[in-house]
Amino acid sequence: MKKRPWLLLAGIVCCSIAGFSQSLHFGFKGGANIFKVDGQSFRDEFKFGYHLGAFGEIYFTDKFGIQPEVLFSQTNFRTGNDFDNVYPDGIGDVKGKLHYLSIPVLLSFRPVNLIAFQIGPQFGTLLNQDKDLVNNGKDAFKKGDLSLLAGAQLNLLKFKLGARYVIGLNDINDVGTSNKWKNQGFQVYVGFRVI
């Protein structure tokens, strides 16, 4: 029930922005996540995942606008052999997957129509919990993730090609407070503007 007022407010804001914007477009995108969970108890290696979702483009002027997105995003990781030394109930050398519902809201600067530079926050909600990380079955990761994204996007007619760097800003460790875990990595993607 608490989500309804927020959804209504988001709808009103989007409609208001659309009324003041010079151009409004929607499309779909997908691509690869080359991510890792950064922390003392994880292997320092990037692993491939994926992301799929939709995006909007709202330009207020010829050069400036925002690009909100809604993405289903996967991060793959592997714990280190010493995970059980850092966390006594932990299990070392475990492969795991985190699935997030991610909402980036990016400021776009388009010096020419062909390219846009983007930066902004990404809010993520964890959709799954990997229960194999600790012996007692406790949730190992926090439900929320906040990241900063920066990258560039090529605009080729209705097609979009882009690359971004993603760095986690908050600690996603829900097992203990001695070691911080953060998502980090790169995204490459292809998009298609429908409207």
Portion of the chain with pLDDT greater than 70, in percent: 83
Domains of the chain, by residue range, sit at 23-193
Contact 114, 130 (CB under 8 A): no
| β-strand partners of 1 | none
Q: Is the pLDDT of residue 175 over 90?
A: no
Q: Is the pLDDT of residue 51 over 80?
A: yes
**Cβ neighbours of residue 76 closer than 8 Å, sequence gap 6 or more:** 35, 47, 48, 49, 95, 96, 97, 98
Question: CA 75 to CA 162: how far, in whole Å?
Answer: 19
Q: What distance lies between CA 19 and its chain's CA centroid? A: 28
pLDDT score of 130: 63
- Tell the CATH topology of 23-193: Porin (2.40.160)
Tokens of 59: 């330009």
pLDDT score of 1: 46
CA angle centred on 157, ends 154 and 163, rounded to 5°: 20
Mean pLDDT of 158-170: 96
Portion of the chain with pLDDT greater than 90, in percent: 55
Q: 126-158: buried (b, 16+ CB within 10 Å) or exposed (e) per residue?
A: beebbeebbeeeeebbeeebebebebebebeee
Question: CA 57 to CA 69: how far, in whole Å?
Answer: 9
Mean pLDDT of 4-15: 59
Q: What's the whole-model pTM score? A: 0.81
**Cβ neighbours of residue 174 closer than 8 Å, sequence gap 6 or more:** 138, 139, 140, 141, 142
Mean pLDDT of 127-156: 82
Q: What distance lies between CA 134 and its chain's CA centroid? A: 25
Lowest average pLDDT, out of 4-18, 70-84, 125-139, goes to 4-18
